[in-house]
Structure formats: C-alpha cells, structure tokens
Chains A and B, each alone.
Chain A
C-alpha cells in the first residue's frame, strides 16, 4: 500500500524557518517525483513545488510564492522528501501535503497529476 507521511509541522514565528519531511513507503520512491501542495485555512489547493526523480533528471520547480524562500530536496536511500521553508510569512500558514507524482507524455501532451497524497502537516506562522 502506498503511504506518504508528512512530519515537522508546527507553530513558528514570522521570519523563521521550518523543515517538513515526507516519508514514503509501499513503492519504489526513487522512481517517482514528489510535489508539495498547500491549503490555507478555508481555502483551495495551491501547488508549491516539485522534484522529479533522478532518472527523469531531478528537475525542481517552484510556484512563484515559494521561489527563493522554499527548497525541495530528496533522499532516495531513505525514501524521504523535504520541504525547507525559510523567511516564513503569516500567509504561509496552511496544511502542507506531499504527493506522489505521475508524469507521462501521451503522444506530445503532458499527463501530470498526483495519484497519492499524504495526510498533511499543519504549519502555523505567527506574527
């Protein structure tokens, strides 16, 4: 059974840092990309960033709201992905989910989506 478990959430002051972990099991972690998606209280889903598998080039991309402050990395030997969040703002308060990414090209059209999600980690940034 595919499982993704986030950890490391909590209460942090504005301007400080926090690192989330996503521990995977039930599949070959190294074969898949991972994304982070967040959801502010009462709001919709917002993609934060992704890291592709090393076999797919290990590419990393971020949403504009995360670029320059957040860093995604992975440790395939431990089946863990990380989200390092620096210079946190109150607007970063959200539940953060990690996902397993499906990335295919059908003829010439990208087929990119999230087939499994973790249970989420709550990050609260206080002023």
Chain B
C-alpha cells in the first residue's frame, strides 16, 4: 500500500510562516491536495492539484509538490489557522490520506 507521512505537529508564531510536509514515494508524479480540519468540524479543501486554491480560501495558503515531498505553506499565520491538516493523493485505485499534522499557533 502507498503511505503518506506528515510530521505530527508544527508550531508557529502569529504572523510567521508554517510549512507542513507530506512525504511519499515519487509523490511529485501524483497530484496532491490538502484539507484543513478544525476541532469538531468537517474537513475543508484548502489546496488541490498541488498548488490551486478553491474559491474562498485565503491566499496565505499555498502548496508545492516535487520529488518525494509535497508542502503546504501558510504565510502570515493567523490564530484561525490552528487546525489539523491532511494531505491526500490517489494511488492504485484508492484515495490515500497523510497521517495528519496538528498546527498550533503560539
């Protein structure tokens, strides 16, 4: 099976940049998306097709994907960005989620 690995947690100060990585074999050959999930809420799509933002998602969210690593970057992080973040890709007829990263805004 295909695995996507994320760091369990990332801490960031308000206004600073948070980077969340998602690692998998030859991940750069697949499209990656990212979901944000706040406590008690459903996941929300924040990045799709590696770099694109759905309407309504602030431009402080950006993504990249190359080699074995995809990265979600939150620039000028705000308190409201504190949440769990999951990457997701498609492999061998299955949807694969990353292990999830808890972003804490200190």
- Could you tell me if B48 and A44 are in contact, using CB atoms closer than 8 angstroms? no
Q: Which residues of A contact B (CB under 8 A)?
A: 35, 37, 44-47, 50, 61, 63, 97, 102, 106, 109-120
Task: Report chain A residues within 8 Å CB of B96.
Answer: 47
| Complex Cα gap A120–B100 (Å) | 18
- Could you tell me if A46 and B97 are in contact, using CB atoms closer than 8 angstroms? yes
Instruction: Give how many B residues have a beta carbon under 8 Å from the other chain's beta carbons.
Output: 24
* Nearest chain B CB to A71 CB, angstrom units: 17
The 7 closest A-B pairs by CB, nearest first: A47-B95, A112-B90, A113-B33, A44-B100, A117-B42, A45-B97, A111-B31
How many Cβ-Cβ contacts under 8 Å join chain A to chain B? 62
- Could you tell me if B43 and A45 are in contact, using CB atoms closer than 8 angstroms? yes
Q: Which residues of B contact A (CB under 8 A)?
A: 29-31, 33, 35, 37, 42-45, 48-49, 54, 86, 88, 90, 93-100
- Could you tell me if A45 and B86 are in contact, using CB atoms closer than 8 angstroms? yes
Main secondary structure of the interface of A (DSSP, over half): strand
- Could you tell me if B49 and A44 are in contact, using CB atoms closer than 8 angstroms? no
Contact of B45 among A37, A47, A106, A113 (CB under 8 A): A113
